[in-house]
Structure 1
Amino acid sequence: MLLDESDLEARLRELPAWQRQDQRLTRTLTFRNFADALDFVNRVGKLAEEADHHPDILLHNWNQVTLTLWTHDAGGLTMLDVSLAHKINAITG
């Protein structure tokens, strides 16, 4: 179920590192090197598999990872996205 606008705004205040772009959440992280970026992608992949909720993941510029979350079948942002964003935040250190 899509989050209504007021609930979404409240939940996004808990995720200041994430940016809202229409009905998607994005976050770009920069790492020391390619190996660290790739390790992070693999850790996010494990979280995504456990949650059965899969973000778009872009590894670019050899040390940057951009994540994009939204619930495809709902057509926007749901609690699945917020929950996964919190889990990703927990592994970013």
Structure 2
Amino acid sequence: MSELKSMTCEACRADAPKVTDKELKELIAQIPDWGVEVRDGIMQLERQFKFKNFKLALAFTNKAGELAEEFGHHPALLTEWGKVTVTWWTHAIKGLHKNDFIMAAKTDELLES
């Protein structure tokens, strides 16, 4: 499994570097269920989690929200019947930072808890 899940986010400022193409390849390989989406020119990580019903999807959304609060890094969360779409990117740099990959790995771990 990914080493990312054991890492901690670092404080990120507006001048923090976005991941390079080389880093992107290495990091995305560690979270194979996630994809890269580009919206309005901003690269983002996205994964859809499937559940048997809305109640389970909502419970997962709440866990993801608690994780986000714990690390001070917040995703876009779309909760629907039977699924939750989680999208990570770093707003301050309008793109992907290593923190986003760390949080994606930690989000995957929520399925185990």
TM range, smaller chain: over 0.9
State how 1:31-46 maps to structure 2 within 5 Å.
31-46=51-66
Equivalent in the alignment of 1:57? 77
Equivalent in the alignment of 1:17? 33
- Structure with bigger gyration radius: 2
Give the TM-score of the pair, scaled to structure 1: 0.94
What percentage of residue pairs aligned between the two structures are identical? 36
Counterparts of 2:103 and 2:20 in 1: how far apart (Å)? Answer: 18
Q: Could you tell me which amino acid in structure 1 is paired with residue 25 of structure 2? A: E
Equivalent in the alignment of 2:22? 6
Equivalent in the alignment of 1:73? 92
2:102 to 56, 80, 83: 83
Give the TM-score of the pair, scaled to structure 2: 0.78
The RMSD of aligned alpha carbons is 0.8
Aligned residues, how many? 92
Counterparts of 2:48 and 2:93 in 1: how far apart (Å)? Answer: 24
SS in 2 for 1:68: strand
Instruction: Say whether 1:28 aligns with 2:48.
Output: yes
Find runs of 4+ consecutive structure 1 residues off by over 2 angstroms: none
SS in 2 for 1:27: strand
Counterparts of 2:18 and 2:62 in 1: how far apart (Å)? Answer: 28
SS in 2 for 1:29: strand
